[in-house]
Amino acid sequence: MKQSLLLWLSLLYSIGGYSQSVQSQVVGSAGDFFQTNEAQMAFTLGEVVTETFNSGELILTQGFHQTNLMVTSLEDLAAEFQLRVFPNPTVDFLSIDALQSPESFNLELLDTSGRPLFLQRNMSQGATHQINLSNYPPGIYLLRLRTEDRKNIQTFKIVKLN
């Protein structure tokens, strides 16, 4: 009786005491992994078809090397700012009403390639600001609002007509 009880206890201990760990592994024809104190980079060369199978904590990807991405926090500066940008589309002048802003901000007008065309600094709450677009050709522009320390607040797509 003691031997069978000892056998069952040792069997349960061996099953419960043994566990596996799952690590991310990539099987590819070519690739590499680099790591420094500030960053890490991993890449593989392989198939153009990708498919991901997900089962709980296990992820199997076919083709491209896909890492696990996790965003821990995100600062939403646009929630503290209440702005109106009008008229859009516009022909000549674009108006910006800063209804509520906790601090001064900058306005940047960019073309679609990201090239800055216009910059107005130290915008403040409570006033209507205007940008003259009559000298710019018709097209799509980006109006980016940034804090004084260059944090993005919000970006608007502006359509300029003839």
Percent of the chain with pLDDT over 70: 61
> Is residue 73 scored above 50 in pLDDT?
no
Contact 105, 71 (CB under 8 A): no
Could you read off the pLDDT of 75-103 as tens digits, one per residue? Answer: 566 677 788 889 989 999 999 888 776 67
Task: Tell me how far apart the alpha carbons of residues 74 and 76 are, in angstroms, rounded to a whole number.
Answer: 6
Domain ranges of the chain: 23-70, 77-160
> Is residue 29 scored above 70 in pLDDT?
no
Q: Which amino acid is at 21?
A: S
Most confident of 17-26, 34-43, 94-103, 135-144: 135-144
The DSSP code for 63 is: S
pTM of the model: 0.52
Instruction: Give the architecture-level CATH label for domain 77-160.
Output: Sandwich (2.60)
- Residue that is written with structure tokens 């260059």 in the block: 150
CB-based burial, 37-59: b 16+ in 10 Å, e otherwise: eeeeeeebebeeeeeeeeeeeee
